[in-house]
Structure 1
Amino acid sequence: MGDTSTNTKQFRWFTIALIAFNTVWGFNNVVNNYAQQGASVITSWIIILAVYFIPYTLMVGQLGSTFQKSGGGVSSWIDATSTRGLAYFAAWTYWVVHVPYLAQKPQNILIAISWAFTGAGTYFSHFSTAIFSILCLIVFLFFMWVASKGITTLGVIATFAGTATFVMSILFIFLAIAAPHLPNVTAATQNLTHVKTYIPNFNFSYFTTLSMLVLAVGGSEKIAPYVNKTKNPSKEFPLGMIVLAILVGVCAIAGSVGMAILFNSKAIPKDLMMNGAYSAFQRLGQYYHIGNALMITYGLTNSIGQIAALIVSIDAPLRILLSGHNDEYVPKSLMKLNKHGVFINGYKMTGILVGILIILPGLGIKNIQQLYNWLLNLNSIVMPLRYLWVFVAFMLLSKHMNKFHSDYMFVKNKTIGWLLGFWCFIFTAFVCVLGMVPKVSFSSDPHGWFLQLGLNIITPIVLIALGFIMPMIARRDKNK
């Protein structure tokens, strides 16, 4: 018989790097962070990659290699190193942080469709935020209904749209950087060859924007199952992670330079987060004399990708929460399946929470652009909370290192490993808390500033607190 290990471990370092890159990276990471920091974001990218992203991904490598039979789930890592109760809260956090994410997807879908079919992002600008929020709720409920039918053919569409959007992101870099060499085209940002253009102003306002950077580079725990499908994991996986860091760094830096060429770093449009990606492709189309072809292509592929991501994200995180825990922590009623194999009551709970988060802010925030920016910033506060459990798992693994075997070791020293996990944990928590500070001007809109601050503080507290209520309900049901 031949060596079967060579058949099951076919991934090389470059395969791992490409899979991880497609999982972690997206064009909006460039647009959103440039919108907050301008050209100085390039320095921020270098710092965040060195002190956070690289150790984060290598921790994921060791965790995935150690618990290869668990499928790479964060809650299973916690379960193996701690208790089922703590593992439940890890799973709850992974699910509940998707609530703001799901609340913004309908906005992204409507904006992408607007750009693709009207050639501008102003179609909804004359709508009140209340009406726009109702439209978003209708879109969300419709696709939640679609998801409840157990749609399984979405994978191919999602893969196609995701790949097309990814190719468009890479194409942007080449076209944008080459644009100044075209006749009658000059960079919108001056002094791009001066070092001081890229030096951030390290004030309080700067630190409130770091959560968006952490959101951009997070999520590599999704690639953990591939660690032990790699030839020689102890050597090729870390090499793949180093290549991943280089790819992310090059795309982040080159993409930010491209944005600086198209948009003046000293006069960033207020709607750049909402419309920047489409405006960028529209400008490139004008520079290269191909009209709106690039923008329409990006708008269509992005709208399909956003719809697919919405449907998948309604179902997949919920399955992780409800499939992995018994009735000791999750109420039995939430585990009810419909004829399509969907957790229908879990869907209803998702619909209620997302619906509240769609409608409530729309009644107080009076500007659609501010509403979009606020919800995006809320995502940068809430979504990284699930990364905290990766670092908790790594600290626990480091503490009990002698009990576990791993083909790949990022850190062999218990103390150093624990300290690295603690550093990433504290840094993530720090930027999430500072990210709660509203990005609107207090002097120009004090009411809106306090409203956004209140929502930024209350929302993550309520979402996490609900996780404590579920086991109480479950115990009550069990006692009955």
Structure 2
Amino acid sequence: MRAMTWAIFQNVTKFDQTSTFVIQLVTFFLFVFFCWLAAHGLTVLETLATLAGSATFVMSLLYILMMFAAPAINPAVSFHSIDLSWKNLVPNFNVNYFTSLSILVFAVGGCEKISPYVNKLKHPSKNFPKAMIALAIMVMVSAILGTIAMAMMFDPNDVKNNFDSYIANGDYWAFQKLGNYYHLGNTLLVIYAITNVIGQFSTLCLSIDAPLRILLGSKEAKEFIPAGLLKKNKYGAYVNGIKMVGILSGAIILSQSLVPGAAKVMSQLIKLNSTMMPLRYLWVFAAYIALRKAHDKYQSDYVFAKHQGIAYFFGTWCFLITAACCLLGIYSTDPFALTLNIVTPLVLVALGVILPMVKKYQDQKNNKAE
């Protein structure tokens, strides 16, 4: 909705002035609509998501290149000076610093999704590490250059004093300023906003459907998931699973309807996401340690480390660092945000415990009936 506002009005004033309750109510109905859409096929949206994702990546790179090239095109462009002395590069190790570390883990989130394809590489032991290193370098370079570009474009003191607004609108303001540098008006802003609208809507729909297919589509799911959640419709979508997602996410949407200010809602959601997403990886690292303990039972063309001690060290190290970053990231001075950050993971973990229990009860009941 924010992206649509920027695309239509080229500013976000009307959106921010609208009651949070109204915005969250509209968001809820949009979410329900996309839950319905996810249950009715995704072919078109998958294509749009691919195009929008590629376009967003290209525009991010263009922003960095065009930002640094602007003075050569328009000598009137003036940037804020950046002091890159050692004292400014070393962060202040305070509460704000440690509670923001989860965003660093979140930055490389998603790379675990390529794990099923590791053994399909021609030379997994050589090519997979190279791919992961390349991924980390791309994220690092984009983050560093993008941060420097935005620091040159915006006054750090203004960012600090209007932090929530910059989290919600910073990328739009950046493209708006960039367009002014090149005498293009709001053209770049509108293109970026439209790209965001398509990308966010298609990603929303895919994010409802894809995780359910991974969770409920495996052969092991029948052993731990209640039969009702495994029900499919004629489109192959897990209808009851979509309803479950609708209830969980809908509860978060409606709970924020009383939060003052749309920018504040956006800030809370970004922080919640940066904490909840990395928390999932704790299960990945725990599973890795468990697999290494049973390494003689499984064969793989690629292993991270052949030596058991090294494997245990890095598995444990990743687990502890991720856990620490996420637990620190949960902390917030805002009571509502703190409650949301605590309750959400507890509910999801509880759900993971309850579903197998329900399945076990169903099996016992069916056995008695037989």
TM interval, short-chain normalised = over 0.9
Contact 1:394 1:421 in 2 (8 A): yes
Deviations 1:224-278 (A, max 9, x none): 2332333322222222322222222211111111111112223313211111111
Shift of 1:367: 1.7
CA distance in structure 2 between the aligned counterparts of 1:346 and 1:236, rounded to whole angstroms? 36
Deviations 1:315-345 (A, max 9, x none): 1101112122344421111112222222111
CA distance in structure 1 between the aligned counterparts of 2:105 and 2:113, rounded to whole angstroms? 16
1:335 matched residue in structure 2: 230
Q: Aligned ranges for residues 453-464 of structure 1 at < 5 Å?
A: 453-464=338-349
2:4 matched residue in structure 1: 113
Which residue of the other structure, out of 217, 231, 242, is the alignment partner of 2:108? 217
Mind listing any 5+ residue stretches in structure 2 that lack a counterpart?
Answer: 366-370
- 1:399 and 2:284 matched: no
Shift of 1:436: 1.2
What letter is aligned with 2:351?
A: L
1:361 matched residue in structure 2: 256
- 1:263 and 2:154 matched: yes
CA distance in structure 2 between the aligned counterparts of 1:199 and 1:341, rounded to whole angstroms? 52
What letter is aligned with 1:395?
A: I
| Change in CA separation of 1:243 and 1:337 when aligned onto 2, cut-off 3 Å | closer
Which residue of the other structure, out of 106, 129, 140, is the alignment partner of 1:249? 140
CA distance in structure 2 between the aligned counterparts of 1:187 and 1:197, rounded to whole angstroms? 18
Q: What SS class does the counterpart of residue 435 from structure 1 fall into?
A: helix
1:477 matched residue in structure 2: 362
2:77 matched residue in structure 1: 185
2:327 matched residue in structure 1: 433
CA distance in structure 1 between the aligned counterparts of 2:262 and 2:344, rounded to whole angstroms? 20
CA distance in structure 2 between the aligned counterparts of 1:186 and 1:197, rounded to whole angstroms? 22
Shift of 1:408: 2.7
Q: What SS class does the counterpart of residue 153 from structure 1 fall into?
A: helix
Q: What SS class does the counterpart of residue 431 from structure 1 fall into?
A: helix
**Aligned residue pair count:** 360
What letter is aligned with 2:327?
A: V
Contact 2:4 2:197 in 1 (8 A): yes
Q: TM-score, normalised by structure 2?
A: 0.92
Contact 1:329 1:471 in 2 (8 A): yes
CA distance in structure 2 between the aligned counterparts of 1:382 and 1:275, rounded to whole angstroms? 22
Which residue of the other structure, out of 441, 445, 468, is the alignment partner of 2:353? 468
Shift of 1:389: 2.0
2:284 matched residue in structure 1: 390
1:346 matched residue in structure 2: 241
Q: Aligned ranges for residues 172-211 of structure 1 at < 5 Å?
A: 172-181=63-72, 182-188=74-80, 190-211=81-102
CA distance in structure 1 between the aligned counterparts of 2:150 and 2:254, rounded to whole angstroms? 33
- 1:419 and 2:313 matched: yes
| C-alpha RMSD of the superposition | 1.7
Bigger mean CA deviation after superposition, 330-339 or 264-273: 264-273
Contact 1:165 1:301 in 2 (8 A): yes
Shift of 1:455: 1.7
CA distance in structure 2 between the aligned counterparts of 1:117 and 1:203, rounded to whole angstroms? 41
Contact 2:5 2:11 in 1 (8 A): yes
- 1:278 and 2:179 matched: no
CA distance in structure 2 between the aligned counterparts of 1:308 and 1:217, rounded to whole angstroms? 21
- 1:289 and 2:174 matched: no
CA distance in structure 2 between the aligned counterparts of 1:341 and 1:233, rounded to whole angstroms? 33
| Change in CA separation of 1:429 and 1:278 when aligned onto 2, cut-off 3 Å | same
Q: What SS class does the counterpart of residue 157 from structure 2 fall into?
A: coil
Contact 1:180 1:187 in 2 (8 A): no
Deviations 1:175-198 (A, max 9, x none): 12223554222223x334433332
CA distance in structure 2 between the aligned counterparts of 1:327 and 1:227, rounded to whole angstroms? 26
Contact 2:176 2:186 in 1 (8 A): yes
- 1:159 and 2:159 matched: no
CA distance in structure 2 between the aligned counterparts of 1:239 and 1:467, rounded to whole angstroms? 35
What letter is aligned with 1:145?
A: W
CA distance in structure 2 between the aligned counterparts of 1:193 and 1:203, rounded to whole angstroms? 20
Shift of 1:366: 1.4
Q: Aligned ranges for residues 13-32 of structure 1 at < 5 Å?
A: none
Deviations 1:124-181 (A, max 9, x none): 1111211111010011111111111123232222111111111001101111222355
Contact 2:99 2:330 in 1 (8 A): yes
| Change in CA separation of 1:242 and 1:327 when aligned onto 2, cut-off 3 Å | closer
What letter is aligned with 2:77?
A: V
